[in-house]
Structure 1
Amino acid sequence: MDESVVVAPDWLATHLEDPQLRIVDVRDAWEYDGIGHIPGAVSVPFDRYRDESDVDRGTLPGADAFAALLSDVGIAPDDTVVVYDDTHGVFAARFVLTALEYGHDDVRLLDGDYSAWNRAYETTSDTPELEPTSYDPDPLTRGESPLIGFDAVEDALERGSLFVDTRDKHEFEEARLPGAVRFDWREAVDDETRRLKSEAELEALLADDGITPDREIVLYCNTARRISHTYVVLRALGYEDVHFYEGSLTEWLANDGAIETGPVDEE
């Protein structure tokens, strides 16, 4: 796994004293305060970087709002940021995607979640002292960003891109984009260790569904949360031509996009 994208608990444990390391806990505030957290972590609950009020912007909070959030918790543009949750990384991955979109170069997902960390390392209830920064965002341009919208999705369908649906089977059968394959985002996680499966296992699983690095890939789910995890996993594996349909099926259906329904042979 590319350590510039995903880091193991061992890596994080050996870098806790790095003055440019910032750890972000995206669980609910009561979990951060009541259950404990990784030493040095700041609390940024998931709902603080999710905006459902602007349909044109999907669930992204906006560059200025996100920059203000990072400033409040003492994060500077050149800091190394490691993010975790306690739900196998799916909410943390959304933070990673958001930070990348708004120009933070060094943001990484913790391989495993709080429970995985807690099995091997100490946690704390101490809240770190925060010194606010003045964070200036540098959002990716249209050509740089992996995010695409409805029109670009239509174009991708026409040129035969591989659409990957990361939802549950019953959701997939109810409605999906034409020709899509299903890769449940949780397939990437080992239930016993709570960490990502090995690189070889992941590559084999993806290849079984035709999800290979030579394909142009478009990810979608319902509201762009679950695809965040799969997007980070693919980046960590070295996939380069990966697009992220931020509007996902919610926008697609609202615009009367073509769909398929019913069961498919996933063997």
Structure 2
Amino acid sequence: MTDFVSAEWVASQGEGIRIVDVRDAWEYDGLGHLPNAVSVPFDSFRADEHGTESDADAGEGMLPDEDDWAQLLSEAGVSPESDIVAYDDHHGVFAARFLVTAELFGHDPARLHLLDGDFSSWQLERETSSETPAVEPTDYELTRPDATPLVGPDAVADAADDPDAVLVDTREDGEYDEGHIPGAVLLDWRALVDDETRGLLPQDEARSVLERAGIVPEKRIVLYCNTARRISHTYVVLRHLGFEQVDFYEGSLTEWEAQGRPLETN
């Protein structure tokens, strides 16, 4: 499963991993980056607009086109056998989106890793580089998995009434109060982030935060936000902590509202 890895682990791997920097290209070029990291900016793997009706039925939401994704990884020197570490400078939320996209498109989750911390925390104690590594392009072949955590809006609506499920809104308090899917509990994704280390809270603390929101491993967890970016981070956290039943509403509120479905306000 996709997991968190320490800066020490990343530094110890040498060139045995593919490190992916998802910050803007100007940050990669102008501010430096992790040694041997390749640049794959967030905007390059974000769909420009909401998907088609058929995409919505399949739970595709804002995922990029398959061919575009495969070309992007090929140009970054990634193969299906690559171990990938992704990072950003926003506590890992954009990097998590990259990794979840890779998982949904069939990359082995055991080979997907999120840097515990971000660029700012890395550069406090470790060297950075201004050199762009030479990359040998691959011919990345995408193989869709037999099953994914993706769910559509009907399944999300059903989860709100299911005693064995918890529907989770990972946005900010104010957004939640203005309108959320009926029956959803609030868990701001940043509640699982340690402001000092810029990485994941210690695991015991993270579990306590989750339990207070009623999010426990025994339940099926269904995640949504606005455009599936913030739930990507929460998804990686939950899987890292051993949660086995985590559903991912890719369409999120963008799709939910476009379909005229009801919202609840506080």
Q: Using structure 1 for the length normalisation, give the TM-score.
A: 0.93
Counterpart selection for 1:35 from 31, 37, 45 = 31
Aligned mates of 1:219, 1:58 — CA distance in 2: 14
- In the alignment, residue 127 of structure 1 is paired with which amino acid? T
Matches within 5 A, 1:26-65: 26-55=22-51, 56=55, 57-65=60-68
Match for residue 16 of structure 1 among 5, 14, 18: 14
Note if contact 1:63-1:139 (Cα within 8 Å) is conserved in structure 2. no
| Identity, % of aligned positions | 55
The equivalences for 1:215-234 within 5 A come to: 215-234=219-238
Q: TM (normalized to structure 2)?
A: 0.93
Q: Which residue of 2 aligns with 1:5?
A: 3
Q: SS state of the match for residue 148, structure 1?
A: coil
What RMSD in Å do the two structures reach over aligned CA positions? 1.3
Residue of structure 2 in register with 1:183 after alignment:
187
Q: What's the offset of the Cα at 1:158?
A: 3.6
Q: CA deviation at 1:153?
A: 1.6
Partner of 1:125: 130
Q: 1:91-122 CA deviation, whole Å, 9 max, x = no partner?
A: 00000100001111111111100011111110
Aligned length: 256
After TM superposition, the runs of 4+ consecutive aligned structure 1 residues lying more than 3 A away are none
Of residues 88, 104, 109, the one that matches 1:85 is: 88
Cα distance per residue 1:30-83 (max 9 Å; x no partner): 000000000000000000000033523421112221111000111110010000
| Residue segments in structure 2 that go unaligned for 5+ positions in a row | none
Q: Match for 1:177: what amino acid?
A: I
Quote the Cα distance in structure 2 between the aligned partners of 1:220 and 1:154. Answer: 12
Alignment correspondent of 1:255: 259
Letter in 1 for 2:159: A
**Who is 1:148 aligned against?**
151
SS in 2 for 1:135: coil
Q: Choose from 111, 115, 122 the match for 1:110.
A: 115
Equivalent position SS for 2:15: coil
The alignment partner of 2:247 has SS state of strand
